[in-house]
Structure 1
Amino acid sequence: MSESSAGSVTEGPSGDGRGSDGVRLNKALANAGVASRRVAEQLIVEGRVRVNGVVVDELGTRVDPATDLVDVDGTAIQFDSTMRYVVLNKPTGVVSSMKDDRGRPDLRQFTADWEERLYNVGRLDADTSGLLILTNDGALAHILAHPAFGVTKVYIAKVDGRVTAQTIAALTRGVQLEDGPIAADKARLLSSSDRGTGSLVELTLHSGRNRIVRRMMAEVGHPVVELVRRQFGPLHLGSLPVGQARELTKVERGALLTLARRAADDSPPPDEETQ
């Protein structure tokens, strides 16, 4: 495979994988924890590895881990071992900031286990709990947080009153707020009290507008009592306890990187900041 067909990918003689032509692909995959060198060679021969979107099946192929984008069976591979991806179940009462100028509890208390300086991807209101991503991968954070890339988030809202099917339909059709119309990507009623004392609603959104779930539910007459984010893109909160953080698994990291790369390929470069 020539450089013209796959970015900086080049073929080279067998060796230790170092030099001006980059690193042998099987060694790069092994260093990334994908598989042993022997198994990585088999993956390459079977045509299951792509570099910069092009299938590579030559064992002598070399790559530049700093610039080449590699995926195996469609899952993106991260070569940079300094990148950290952490999921936090943020408690209520904590602001989504690494340093709050008003002295309120912030996210620093959850990052002490990592040497790298981590930053939050987007925000959750202080009175909202749930899934928050912390990372030092700025490019990925930008794609995940910006609504132009269409990465969805799933929220569970406990609201006042008895929510009806008509209300759910209104949320997906769209409601008019003071800063413009907004529609949920998906909405469904999880439970509703016959006495009208409360309902549970699941909303899927890709908007980054401030307090959007609370404002939408208030607009349809059902103010939010409690709100938790259960999912961000391919990541699920699962059974992670409130106030706990953990590094993503290899599978989760691959899914997140894959989503980010696909979103970047499918969306035009945004020219606005998300909230």
Structure 2
Amino acid sequence: MSENESTEGVRLQKVLANAGVASRRVSEELIVDGRVRVNGLVVTELGRRIDPENDLVDVDGTAIQLDAGKRYVMLNKPTGVISSMKDDRGRRDLREFADDWEERLFNVGRLDYDTSGLLVLTNDGELAQVLAHPSFGVNKVYIAKVEGTVTPATIQRLTRGIELEDGPIHADKARLLDTSAGSSLVELTLHSGRNRIVRRMMAEVGHPVVELVRRQFGPLHLGTLPVGRARELTKVERGALLTLSRQGSGANDAVDPTGETHGLSDGSSEGRENS
């Protein structure tokens, strides 16, 4: 929408109020104070009208969800579940966790069959394409129970980098959480989306993974959500996820050079796994 289309659309303060940001009066104060941007530009005039279906709004740098039809759900995926909404081999899939929502939800990226933890389900195709695209590299935090006693030297090796068959890789962060009874707990932070990357890294340094859980995906933390349960994201979580998505939308067009798209998935193949 151009600056001259002042008689069309919806007043910005009304849009903010309808989105649950604040009352209309407080929303007006936010606008006058220069804390609101539309399509990346600060708006301070109270008469500004926007198109909620197409314009992007943020307050204090946090994206605001204007489309009430979009759903953003956090799932603590159990092991033994395929990261797909349909599996042609009859294995347990994600459909059972999406039944509580009328909208057709899809998973953002994937988790390995034997990996549990945080998986995002949504009907927001644009967000899913951006966040799951390999070139974007959302930070992910894993807790791995591995065989053997992990030493500080091994932790340093993981962060310095190791060579795998598909190229070098290093953890953004790594730390030893616990060692007992012939096994260790290691926390790894990665932005790579390579296939089964955590398992391959730990095997390469001599500590095969016994159990693996993803605790964090970008700004989202699993917290106390029980295994096998799903919940909608809070307003704060939605804002953080949308902000991350908009930051990445300019970095890639969600299609790689082969023409393959990433992100929303309801196919029967396991495809790319992130752990």
Matched, 1:66 2:60: no
Could you list the structure 1 runs, at least 4 aligned residues long, displaced by more than 4 angstroms after superposition: none
Work out which of the residue numbers 214, 234, 246 in structure 1 matches 2:231: 246
| Runs of at least 5 residues in structure 2 that lack an aligned partner in the other structure | 263-271
**In the superposition, relative to structure 1, how do residues 44 and 127 fare at CA in structure 2: closer, same or farther (>3 Å)?**
same
Per-residue deviation at 1:264?
A: 2.4
Decide which structure has the larger Cα Rg and report it.
1
Aligned to 2:38: 51
CA distance in 1, matches of 2:4, 2:47: 8
Matched, 1:157 2:151: no
CA distance in 1, matches of 2:209, 2:203: 7
TM-score (structure 2 length as normaliser)? 0.90
8 Å CA contact 1:52–1:69 kept in 2: the answer is yes
Work out which of the residue numbers 184, 202, 205 in structure 1 matches 2:190: 205
What is the identity, as a one-letter code, of the residue corresponding to 1:215?
R
Aligned to 1:106: 93
8 Å CA contact 2:130–2:252 kept in 1: the answer is no
8 Å CA contact 2:137–2:193 kept in 1: the answer is no
SS in 1 for 2:14: helix
| RMSD between aligned residues | 1.5
CA distance in 1, matches of 2:193, 2:4: 41
SS in 2 for 1:166: helix
Per-residue deviation at 1:271?
A: 4.5
Per-residue deviation at 1:12?
A: 3.3
**In the superposition, relative to structure 1, how do residues 100 and 76 fare at CA in structure 2: closer, same or farther (>3 Å)?**
same
8 Å CA contact 1:186–1:205 kept in 2: the answer is yes
Greater RCO (CA < 8 Å, at least 6 residues apart): 2
Tell me the percent identity.
75
TM-score (structure 1 length as normaliser)? 0.90
In the alignment of these two chains, the number of paired residues is 259
What is the identity, as a one-letter code, of the residue corresponding to 1:186?
K
Work out which of the residue numbers 9, 18, 21 in structure 2 matches 1:34: 21
Work out which of the residue numbers 169, 185, 188 in structure 1 matches 2:172: 185
CA distance in 1, matches of 2:183, 2:233: 34
CA distance in 2, matches of 1:145, 1:173: 25
What is the identity, as a one-letter code, of the residue corresponding to 1:31?
N
Work out which of the residue numbers 2, 12, 15 in structure 2 matches 1:8: 2
Per-residue deviation at 1:169?
A: 1.2
Deviation digits for residues 4-41 of structure 1, max 9, x if unmatched? xxx5345636xxxxxxx211101111111111211111
Deviation digits for residues 162-218 of structure 1, max 9, x if unmatched? 11111111111221112222111111111123x6x0111111111111111001100
CA distance in 1, matches of 2:212, 2:252: 32
8 Å CA contact 2:72–2:123 kept in 1: the answer is yes
